[in-house]
Amino acid sequence: MTIPKVELKQVSKAFHGNGTTVQALADVSLRVMEGEFVTVIGPSGSGKSTLFNLIVGLLDPDSGDICLDGDVCANRAGRVGYMPQRDLLLPWRSALDNAIIPLELAGMSRDEAREKARAMLPMFGLEAFADSYPAALSGGMRQRAALLRTILTERDILLLDEPFGALDALTRRDLQDWLLKVWGRFGQTVIFITHDVEEALYLGDRVIVLSARPGRVVKSLTVELDRPRRRGMIAGGAFGRQMAELLEALGVTV
């Protein structure tokens, strides 16, 4: 049996503050295999972002274990490419210079890093905006710049936290297809958080449903759609049936 790329074993996490305790995650177990695209949905506050902060190593679980590649369980910082919920571009760096941050951190010279990133700009639709500051970019461009930065961490595990959450429906659809193309090319292991059931089904090989706080895994659904995905699939019977299943797991009456 192969080793999972990301494995959570009965992970719980609570936050303490102002005299109250918020149980964010309770007993979450999860295995993501190499090259898999897993989407995670759950109500607001169900601990999705907390899940990522734990995997990245910014937080430590109260109980349970988190392992990457089977054996890296402590000191996880720097092991995965993490794209947080806000794009978090540095306002004082141009789009290009934001994207090269991970390369610079890895010790590459600025010129070399720029050259490498510049070659990838066309794929991200940013070639005309390489030298623009984030304040001058549209929401979709900022997300693409943040995604390029995440890809340039050159990690084979990517955690994407609602990357398209703040975008309008049209831009969002474009970026979904574009993301699938980028993924098809690099083949990383992806965990993708979203609020949107349709997005979760359209993108993922598997959809994990978290319950309202405290977050627990209430469903893990294998998506019955072929790759490559096409927009037309959304109208198909399998899509509708699985969507209903997910909504039910989320507690929405269908």
Ligand X SMILES: Nc1ncnc2c1ncn2[C@@H]1O[C@H](COP(=O)(O)OP(=O)(O)OP(=O)(O)O)[C@@H](O)[C@H]1O
Binding residues for ligand X (CB under 6 A): 15, 17, 22, 24, 42, 44-50, 85, 213
By C-beta, is 39 or 94 nearer to ligand X? 39
- Report the residue from 47, 102, 140, 204 that binds other proteins according to the rule CB under 8 A: 102
Q: Does 178 bind other proteins (CB under 8 A)?
A: no
Residue 26: count of CB within 10 angstroms of its CB: 20
- Phi, psi dihedrals of residue 45, rounded to the nearest 5°: 85, 10
By C-beta, is 34 or 104 nearer to other proteins? 104
- Report the residue from 3, 72, 73, 90 that binds other proteins according to the rule CB under 8 A: 90
Q: Does 58 bind other proteins (CB under 8 A)?
A: yes
Percentage helix, strand, coil for the chain under 3-state DSSP, each rounded to 5: 35, 25, 40
Q: Does 49 bind Mg ion (CB under 5 A)?
A: yes
CB 151, CB 186: distance < 8 Å: yes
- Report the residue from 72, 73, 74, 105 that binds other proteins according to the rule CB under 8 A: 105
Q: Which of residues 75-104 bind Mg ion (CB under 5 A)?
A: 85
CB 254, CB 248: distance < 8 Å: yes
| Torsion sign (Cα): 141, 146, 150, 153 | positive
Number of residues counted as binding other proteins (CB under 8 A) = 24
CB 229, CB 204: distance < 8 Å: no
Q: If you search the block for the tokens 């659904």, which residue do you land on? A: 221
Q: How far is the CB of 161 from Mg ion (least distance, A)?
A: 6
Of ligand X, other proteins, Mg ion, none, which one sits near residue 177, judging by CB under 5 to 8 A according to partner kind? none
